[in-house]
Amino acid sequence: MVDELFFTNNTAKNLLPIDGYTVFYPHFLGKSLSDKLFLQLKESIEWRSEEIKIFGRWVMQPRLTAWYGNAGKTYRYSGIEMKPLPWTPYLLEIKNKVEKQCDVSFNSVLLNYYRTGADSMGWHSDDEPELGKNPVIASVSFGAERLFCLRHKKEKSLQVKLKLTAGSLLIMTGETQHHWQHAIPKTTKPIGERINLTFRKII
Ligand SMILES: O=C(O)CCC(=O)C(=O)O
Ligand SMILES: [Mn+2]
């Protein structure tokens, strides 16, 4: 289980000054493997363009998404319900590597495909009830590098920013989802496509 002990036994340092544990491994997957997986995921995943409900209005999500996992692990957020597609061999290969690093087993993965810099993810916490208290969220990135921002919910001056590079692994755990929000902001820079996988354990 990823906890305080995990971090004291680990070389990666906690990025958060208070109220949670988040660590980053910039070179978790090698370049040739992450390049290969980017193309494979882009072509083989059943990407969907979904509408979500924000403040009572249905709007198109500014990215493509997919949900894969064990049968029955349905995910509900922002007014939509996603039934999982079955694991593919490539997703299982990535999941196995991530599980070894985290020492946790995951039963589902949310995939996001950011087509251009106009695609983004607004401020949120991964705090849906089905994730339980203090979930371990393991996020693997492929393709173009994007900025990832964290902000403390109460202490608004506390912000952490990092670049999620291809082949990187970010692990958020402890009280991170309780006290912090995260986002992938839009950018006007000409930027390539990016795919992100967040492995989760639905209870
Ligand atoms: O694309 C990312 O790195 C963030 C994804 C994310 O926050 C999510 O799927 O909940
Ligand atoms: Mn998230």
Tell me what pLDDT residue 110 has. Answer: 96
Tell me what pLDDT residue 11 has. Answer: 67
Q: Does the beta carbon of 202 lie inside 6 Å of ligand 1?
A: no
Closest ligand 1 atom to Cα of 141: 3
Distance (angstroms) between ligand 1 centre and the Cα of 139 equals: 7
Q: Which two tokens stand for residue 21?
A: 């544990």
Every domain of the chain and the residues it spans: 4-54+61-200
Tell me what pLDDT residue 77 has. Answer: 77
Q: Which residues contact 188 (CB under 8 A, 6 or more apart)?
A: 117
Tell me what pLDDT residue 10 has. Answer: 61
Tell me what pLDDT residue 1 has. Answer: 46
Q: Does the beta carbon of 61 lie inside 6 Å of ligand 1?
A: no
Q: What is the block-wise mean pLDDT of the chain (203 residues), using blocks of 10 residues?
A: 52 91 95 97 96 86 96 84 93 96 94 98 94 96 98 96 98 97 97 98 93
Distance CA(38)–CA(142), nearest Å, equals: 5
Distance CA(174)–CA(143), nearest Å, equals: 28
Q: Does the beta carbon of 198 lie inside 6 Å of ligand 1?
A: yes
Cβ(96)–Cβ(147) below 8 Å? no
- Mean pLDDT (the chain, rounded): 93
User: Under CATH, to which class is 4-54+61-200 assigned?
Assistant: mainly beta
> What separation in angstroms does the CA of 73 have from each of 41, 68, 91, 157?
21, 9, 16, 37
Q: Which residues contact 110 (CB under 8 A, 6 or more apart)?
A: 65, 66, 67, 75, 197, 198, 200
